[in-house]
């Protein structure tokens, strides 16, 4: 006990240590090692922030950031006023972000709860291993597989729906605007459900087993134990992850939308990231692309901040 106190005292002292030449000399090994890492992060992560200036300019590559003409908020006006493209892009991003969020939560939690009911170790491990598989496939592969499954020629989904008499003839799912968001949502569910359930399964193992025993003695069935013990037990985890993920809603959506889109569904498939890519890289309007990127970043930061604040107010563990 005494020793423990002693150690604590030392670390408290060290934590409050002032930066003096003596300390710097003593820690020169650590400082020398840190320098390349600080330079690295400044160069690759902070220098690009200077590029935000481009959004307030009529940026010309040959003139550079320092020579281009400033135009104030013109580029932001261009985004919002006079054409509805960008507003539609925001709507798409938000809609797919929310659909993904809701579906992935329901499926991951549901899967974790159902899997937890399997008491035999072998089958449980087997299902779990299978469930991680799609996470390791790239979106390129998943989109290729998805196209095959939904294909009007020999696609399994069409075959099933026709044989169940739900459809009269095979349809091309990718030509229906109303289906695109849901295709993206369920593709996401297919790929990530197993992976997302890992954290819930870990949370379930932390629940005190005495609770289940007590409930059994009181005559609770398995379903009621799941509802009254397991679910409340992982509620804090669900809550924190939900709040965090709300912050990332606008970040959801580039690869799959980019890979699955086609001319017919373009109006519902284009996300902010794709818009940035289209205007910024393909049409080389760097200023407009950067302005769109800044808008997304600002909204994301506000959402992340609000999510964090809400978590704090709700008295849950803060995550960052």
Q: Which of residues 31-60 bind another protein (CB under 8 A)?
A: 31, 33-34, 37-38, 40-42, 44-52, 54
Cα torsion 26, 29, 31, 35 to 10°: value is 160
**The only residue of 79, 96, 134, 243 in contact with another protein, by rule CB under 8 A:** 134
Compare residues 85 and 255 and give the one whose CB is closer to another protein: 255
Structure tokens at 66: 């320092």
What CA–CA distance (Å, rounded) separates 91 from 71? 27
Compare residues 156 and 314 and give the one whose CB is closer to another protein: 156
Q: Taking CB under 8 A as the criterion, which residues in 56-85 touch another protein?
A: none
Least distance CB 145 / another protein (angstroms): 5
Number of continuous H segments (helices) and E segments (strands) in the chain:
19, 2
Could you tell me which of 303, 289, 286 has the C-alpha nearest to residue 89? Answer: 289
Q: Taking CB under 8 A as the criterion, which residues in 260-289 touch another protein?
A: 262, 273, 276-277, 280-281, 286, 289
Least distance CB 202 / another protein (angstroms): 5
Q: Is 145 in the site for another protein (CB under 8 A)?
A: yes
Size of the residue set binding another protein (CB under 8 A): 92
Q: What is the DSSP string of 23-58?
A: HHHHTHHHHHHHHHHHHHHIIIIIHHHHGGGGGGEE
Whether 270 and 256 have beta carbons less than 8 Å apart is answered as no
Compare residues 27 and 266 and give the one whose CB is closer to another protein: 27
**The only residue of 21, 66, 70, 136 in contact with another protein, by rule CB under 8 A:** 136
Largest CA distance in the chain: 82
Structure tokens at 18: 């002032």
**The only residue of 67, 73, 144, 214 in contact with another protein, by rule CB under 8 A:** 144
| Reduced DSSP (H G I as helix, E B as strand, rest coil) percent helix, strand, coil of the chain, to 5 | 75, 0, 20
Residue 70, SS3 per DSSP: strand
Q: Taking CB under 8 A as the criterion, which residues in 104-133 touch another protein?
A: 111, 114-115, 117-118, 123, 127-133
**The only residue of 14, 62, 84, 178 in contact with another protein, by rule CB under 8 A:** 14
Least distance CB 178 / another protein (angstroms): 20
Compare residues 95 and 150 and give the one whose CB is closer to another protein: 150
What CA–CA distance (Å, rounded) separates 20 from 28? 12
What CA–CA distance (Å, rounded) separates 121 from 119? 6
| Segment holding 69, helix H or strand E | strand 69-70
**The only residue of 1, 5, 25, 29 in contact with another protein, by rule CB under 8 A:** 29
Least distance CB 126 / another protein (angstroms): 8
Q: How far is CA 254 from CA 206, 251, 278, in A?
A: 35, 8, 12
**The only residue of 238, 297, 299, 316 in contact with another protein, by rule CB under 8 A:** 297
Q: Taking CB under 8 A as the criterion, which residues in 223-242 touch another protein?
A: 223, 237, 241
Could you tell me which of 148, 160, 308, 100 has the C-alpha nearest to residue 317? Answer: 308
Least distance CB 198 / another protein (angstroms): 5
Could you give the string, one character per residue 147-176, with x where binding to another protein holds by CB under 8 A and - elsewhere? Answer: xxx-x-xx-x--------------------
Q: Is 198 in the site for another protein (CB under 8 A)?
A: yes
Span interacting with another protein, options 23-31, 66-74, 78-86, 89-97, rule CB under 8 A: 23-31
Question: Residue 257 burial by CB count (10 A; 0-12/13-18/19+): exposed, middle or buried?
Answer: buried
């Amino acid at each position: 006990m005494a020793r423990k106190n002693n150690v604590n005292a030392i670390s408290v002292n060290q934590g409050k240590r002032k930066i003096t030449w003596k300390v710097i000399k003593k820690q020169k090994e650590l400082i020398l090692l840190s320098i390349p890492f600080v330079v690295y992060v400044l160069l690759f992560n902070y220098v690009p922030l200077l590029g935000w200036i481009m959004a307030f300019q009529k940026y010309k590559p040959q003139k550079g950031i320092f020579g281009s003409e400033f135009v104030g908020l013109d580029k932001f006006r261009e985004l919002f006023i006079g054409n509805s493209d960008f507003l539609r892009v925001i709507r798409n991003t938000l809609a797919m972000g929310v659909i993904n969020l809701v579906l992935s939560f329901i499926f991951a939690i549901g899967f974790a709860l159902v899997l937890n009911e399997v008491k035999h170790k072998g089958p449980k491990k087997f299902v779990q291993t299978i469930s991680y598989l799609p996470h390791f496939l790239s979106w390129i592969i998943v989109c290729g597989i998805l196209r095959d499954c939904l294909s009007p020629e020999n696609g399994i989904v069409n075959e099933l729906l026709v044989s169940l008499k739900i459809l009269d003839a095979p349809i091309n799912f990718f030509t229906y605007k109303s289906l695109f968001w849901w295709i993206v949502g369920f593709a996401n569910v297919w790929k990530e459900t197993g992976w997302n359930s890992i954290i819930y399964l870990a949370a379930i193992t932390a629940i005190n087993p005495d609770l289940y025993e007590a409930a059994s003695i009181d005559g609770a069935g398995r379903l009621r134990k799941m509802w009254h013990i397991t679910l409340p037990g992982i509620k804090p985890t669900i809550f924190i992850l939900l709040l965090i993920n709300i912050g990332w809603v606008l970040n959801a959506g580039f690869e799959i939308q980019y890979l699955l889109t086609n001319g017919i569904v373009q109006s519902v498939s284009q996300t902010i990231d794709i818009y940035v890519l289209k205007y910024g890289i393909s049409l080389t309007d760097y200023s407009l692309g950067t302005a769109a990127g800044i808008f997304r970043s600002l909204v994301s930061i506000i959402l992340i901040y609000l999510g964090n604040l809400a978590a704090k107010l709700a008295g849950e563990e803060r995550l960052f």
